[in-house]
Amino acid sequence: MNDTEPNNEPSLELPPALARRLKDAYGRPPVIPAELDAQLQGEACEHLRRPQSTASKRLLPFPRWLAAAAALVAAAVVTWAPVGSGRKDGFQQADLNGDGQIDVLDSYQFARRLQHGDKLEPSLDLNGDGVVDAKDLEILTARVVQLGKQKG
Amino acid sequence: MPTEASTDETRSDEELIALLNQGDSEAFEIVYRRHRDWVATVALRITGDHALALDVLQETFLYFLRKFPGFTLRCQLRSFLYPAVRNLAIAARRQAARLQSDGGTFPEIAGSGHDNASAPDRIQLNRVVAALPEGQREVLLLRFADELSLQEIAEALDVPLGTVKSRLHNALGALREAPETKKFFDE
């Protein structure tokens, strides 16, 4: 693909026989059942048929029950939190790419920053153990995957 | 699912996404068919498990679908999809590993296992590829197994083009030196 692009340099090419071996070994898809195709097409029809305003509501990053739960938690924090406690829910601070949604891309961004040793906001200490590390990444990833399933 | 009469394979991803933003489900069908096998391939490579790969395929396209309406594509579609596939596949692999009673681990990277090479050849190649640092291996396979351009890889990994070239250069150097793959460069 795109072999004529100037950024694909000859010095970065493999001998054709080896390239074929790699393609054979790692580039072949698994068998995909027709039921899965049909199911996804059905999901697409249903999702795309919705009026845009309704669809937009469903695309909000949090489902309604979670918003209600968040409101309860917020109320509890306001009521019972010690004076001076400024801690925010780290999950809500996890929109790392700033696109208004908390999803797998934020999780990916988190992983990249961790991998590169970048400084991460203390609010991302999701398990509250005092450090922002791979355990917090796991929590975030589990949450976004879970949210994705609920929205799906 | 596919119906030849209803599809227009000549349309670009950008055109199809514009149609998807208007609620055209046939456009989804074309996009899905165009990228389905690649998504499943990457997912299988990372999870090493057929069923998990299919789960990841499904989750990836549901994630993509939820972007509509109002989605703007700012790079090649595969570059956009790759982080989602990778992340979902890693999460699925970890979750499955936790559920395994024996605590067994998945291979770091998995081949499809149904290629034409003989088993010893495949094992040798797997050994060399598996020994590469993760970043180099990822770039190597995106380039030669998935046939992404260097620019697409840079966008998919969110790294500068120079980094992609450097990783690929180093990966090729390692293959050139490895006894199992050296012969290909001597031919």
What secondary structure does DSSP assign to B3-44, as a single string?
-GGG--TTS-HHHHHHHHHTT-HHHHHHHHHHHHHHHHHHHH
Report which DSSP code applies to A10.
G
* Contacts with A97 from chain B: Cβ below 8 Å: none
Q: Which residue in B1, B144, B158 is closest to A112 by CB distance?
A: B158
* Contacts with B170 from chain A: Cβ below 8 Å: none
The model carries a pTM of 0.62
Predicted confidence band at B106 (pLDDT cuts at 50, 70, 90)?
Answer: very low
Residues B27, B16: contact at Cβ < 8 Å?
A: yes
Predicted confidence band at A110 (pLDDT cuts at 50, 70, 90)?
Answer: confident
DSSP reduced 3-state for A118: coil
* pLDDT exceeds cutoff 90 at B144: yes
DSSP reduced 3-state for B41: helix
B184 touches chain A (CB under 8 A): yes
Check residue A102 and give its pLDDT: 78
| Residues B137, B111: Cα–Cα separation, whole Å | 13
Q: Which of the residue ranges A79-88, A138-147, B162-171 has the most confident prediction, judged by mean pLDDT? A: B162-171
Residues B184, A18: contact at Cβ < 8 Å?
A: yes
Check residue B8 and give its pLDDT: 60
* Contacts with A7 from chain B: Cβ below 8 Å: 149-151, 161, 165
Section A51-55 average pLDDT:
49
